[in-house]
Chains A and B, each alone.
Chain A
């Protein structure tokens, strides 16, 4: 079944949409959640994502259902971490990506949360769009999917060293960009 057909099932309020989504992207999204939380929590994150998708479609009509569900699942996983800071975290790559992003803040990390999430998200989106395609893809693989550098190297046809160098450069660019936008 195509994404368009699954989305149509959502629009028709046909619960088969959930079964088809599970068959098509359940494993994919659970694996993504496991980068951030434990296996058992990952299943709950996927269930949360399905509920959110049911509420959002319609009126949403996602052009990229896989990416749409992946974002919902990732959000559910990060929500879970926030709610329970002692949550059983997953394989560690989410933590590793988090630690790398701390470099971007360059010691200016604060506990205050006054930065508007929406504005920051928009800035990150603009920044990624401004990058050359491969560089943007590598950053997304690391920071959105929490892929390991070895996985990114294989996916993108680069050496692992090349991925690390590229990520290091891109994080510096991100830091400069966030400074110029007034976030740092």
Chain B
């Protein structure tokens, strides 16, 4: 292999990946902290985490002000440290830019690498969550989104809601304290944080500062763990500026509200959840042999399953049959010219009469009419360099009032027929 071949290989990226990279947006869910204090706060959090101070129960920590006085920005790092202030925008997100910030060592000119801490992440979805069972670790949608986007290059500031037998335990309870000690003994960076409002204790939190790997491997033990990003539980409220006590030392952190936690309405499903869908779960196919990648999605209108093997795929969607679909229903199967791809040459746009195209491109067959011959009539192959030359098929099948649409590349007509006739 040579590097040109490797460069060429990037031409095989899926279109959606390429398009996604065009959408990379620095401001969506991505806000830089302002000025010295912001950077110092990052340093404080990160250095504390790396030094493991919070793993020792009675250790004292330095305030962010002390860290700020130690910190001197270096030339070339102005994009990090001199952004106009954005910190006081009400409930604005507070995140630290970059997968690895390059900050100057306070002693010399040497640049040191500091791992950013993610504590909030914006998602459009609303969600509520069920209490985790003993031994389970569940994560909020923003935390999941952040872990997916930033991966291992950062640390996450996480609030732990601890449950036993699905009942919440207070962060200042003896059991929570023992859990913190257990996790600390396992090498986790844990903290007990109190929020004060006008000098009065308002809330207390069990928090973790962890990497993606640490969160994935979190041993729940005898308890249920519900994990949130810090910003979900302690939003930045400009009118109310309480302070947080971290094991005895004060640092300026804002916010007093605590998020409610009760059913995840996430659209992404596991295979079992998708098959358990009351309306459409019974109409999903099984994964073809070797199609290792799979994804299930529920929208208000439809249930979708997608299986992948390289360039080959099975896309399967299930929804209610609607009035607009009627024009594509093949009522007379004997009229093969409506749907038989072997009767036309590629490009179909030059060979299929215009009046037949609506049905031809996506015909709907009643399950009662479906035969292996009919499925074969929708199958074609293309010898396309750089792509799979497997069978390609696409059409829809009507089961009463439920419509299943299939679009496949790489599976046989026999497999597809078998799956379609075993549903419902």
Same complex origin of A and B: yes
Q: Please tell me if B153 contacts chain A, counting CB pairs below 8 Å.
A: yes
Q: Which of A12, A57, A64, A111 contacts B19 (CB 8 A)?
A: A64
Q: Please tell me if B4 contacts chain A, counting CB pairs below 8 Å.
A: yes
Q: How near does chain B come to A118, taking the closest CB pair, in angstroms?
A: 6
**A155–B24 touching, CB < 8 Å:** yes
Q: Which residues of B contact A67 (CB under 8 A)?
A: 15-16, 18-19, 22
Q: Please tell me if B350 contacts chain A, counting CB pairs below 8 Å.
A: yes
- Scan B328-354; emit 1 where CB is below 8 A from any A CB, else 0: 000000000000000000111110001
Q: How near does chain A come to B413, taking the closest CB pair, in angstroms?
A: 17
- Scan A141-174; emit 1 where CB is below 8 A from any B CB, else 0: 1011100000001111111111001100100000
Q: Please tell me if B102 contacts chain A, counting CB pairs below 8 Å.
A: yes
Query: How far, in whole Å, are A149 and B147 apart by their CA atoms in the complex?
Result: 24
- Scan B4-44; emit 1 where CB is below 8 A from any A CB, else 0: 11111111111111111110111100101000000000000
Q: Which of B7, B97, B150, B310 contacts A132 (CB 8 A)?
A: B150
Known: A67-B16, A134-B99, A158-B97. A184 touches B22 (CB 8 A): no
Q: Which of B1, B24, B80, B293 contacts A134 (CB 8 A)?
A: B24
Q: Please tell me if B401 contacts chain A, counting CB pairs below 8 Å.
A: no
- Scan A78-106; emit 1 where CB is below 8 A from any B CB, else 0: 10011000000000001001110110110
**B151–A59 touching, CB < 8 Å:** no
Q: Which residues of A contact B348 (CB under 8 A)?
A: 11, 58-59
Known: A71-B11, A144-B10, A158-B97. A132 touches B149 (CB 8 A): yes
Q: Which residues of A contact B222 (CB under 8 A)?
A: none
- Scan B95-108; emit 1 where CB is below 8 A from any A CB, else 0: 00111111000000
Q: Which of A125, A126, A141 contacts B21 (CB 8 A)?
A: A141
**B24–A156 touching, CB < 8 Å:** yes
**A156–B349 touching, CB < 8 Å:** no
Q: Please tell me if A113 contacts chain B, counting CB pairs below 8 Å.
A: yes
**A166–B11 touching, CB < 8 Å:** no
Q: Please tell me if A44 contacts chain B, counting CB pairs below 8 Å.
A: no
Q: Which residues of A contact B293 (CB under 8 A)?
A: 129
**B17–A129 touching, CB < 8 Å:** yes
**A11–B2 touching, CB < 8 Å:** no
Query: How far, in whole Å, are A86 and B7 apart by their CA atoms in the complex?
Result: 18
Query: How far, in whole Å, are A131 and B17 apart by their CA atoms in the complex?
Result: 11
Q: Which residues of A contact B101 (CB under 8 A)?
A: 159, 162
**A10–B15 touching, CB < 8 Å:** no
Q: Which residues of A contact B6 (CB under 8 A)?
A: 101, 104-105, 120, 124
Q: Which of A99, A110, A133 contacts B20 (CB 8 A)?
A: A133
Query: How far, in whole Å, are A160 and B98 apart by their CA atoms in the complex?
Result: 9
Which chain B residue lies CB-closest to A70? B18
Q: Please tell me if B323 contacts chain A, counting CB pairs below 8 Å.
A: no
Q: Which residues of B contact A184 (CB under 8 A)?
A: 1
Interface residues of B in 336-378 (CB under 8 A from A): 346-350, 354
**B1–A110 touching, CB < 8 Å:** yes
| Number of residues on chain B facing chain A (CB within 8 A) | 60
**A62–B15 touching, CB < 8 Å:** yes
Q: Which of B7, B20, B21, B380 contacts A98 (CB 8 A)?
A: B7
Q: Which of B5, B99, B149, B386 contacts A158 (CB 8 A)?
A: B99
Q: Please tell me if A1 contacts chain B, counting CB pairs below 8 Å.
A: no
Q: Please tell me if B186 contacts chain A, counting CB pairs below 8 Å.
A: no
**A143–B10 touching, CB < 8 Å:** yes
**A145–B21 touching, CB < 8 Å:** yes
Q: Which residues of B contact A126 (CB under 8 A)?
A: 310
- Scan A38-52; emit 1 where CB is below 8 A from any B CB, else 0: 000000000000000
Q: Which residues of A contact B32 (CB under 8 A)?
A: 157
**A162–B26 touching, CB < 8 Å:** no
Q: Which residues of A contact B99 (CB under 8 A)?
A: 134-135, 158, 162, 165-166
Which chain B residue lies CB-closest to A77? B11
Known: A74-B11, A162-B100. A122 touches B310 (CB 8 A): yes
Query: How far, in whole Å, are A110 and B4 apart by their CA atoms in the complex?
Result: 11
**B2–A169 touching, CB < 8 Å:** no
Which chain B residue lies CB-closest to A81? B4
Q: Please tell me if B111 contacts chain A, counting CB pairs below 8 Å.
A: yes
Q: Which of A101, A124, A155, A161 contacts B3 (CB 8 A)?
A: A101
**A125–B150 touching, CB < 8 Å:** no
Q: Which residues of A contact B24 (CB under 8 A)?
A: 134, 137, 141, 155-156
Q: Which residues of B contact A57 (CB under 8 A)?
A: 347
* Interface hub of A11, A55, A159 (most chain B Cβ within 10 A): A159
**B30–A157 touching, CB < 8 Å:** yes
Query: How far, in whole Å, are A81 and B26 apart by their CA atoms in the complex?
Result: 34
Q: How near does chain A come to B407, taking the closest CB pair, in angstroms?
A: 10
**B386–A117 touching, CB < 8 Å:** yes
Spell out A's residues near B (CB within 8 Å).
10-13, 55, 57-59, 62-64, 66-68, 70-71, 74-75, 78, 81-82, 94, 97-99, 101-102, 104-105, 108-113, 115, 117-118, 120-126, 128-129, 131-137, 140-141, 143-145, 153-162, 165-166, 169, 183-184
Q: Offer 16 A-B interface pairs, CB within 8 angstroms, sorted by A.
A: A12-B349, A105-B1, A118-B311, A120-B6, A122-B311, A124-B12, A125-B14, A134-B151, A136-B17, A136-B20, A141-B24, A144-B10, A144-B13, A155-B24, A157-B25, A161-B102
A-B pairs, 10 with minimum CB distance? A157-B26, A121-B12, A132-B151, A162-B98, A161-B102, A67-B18, A67-B15, A140-B21, A64-B15, A102-B3
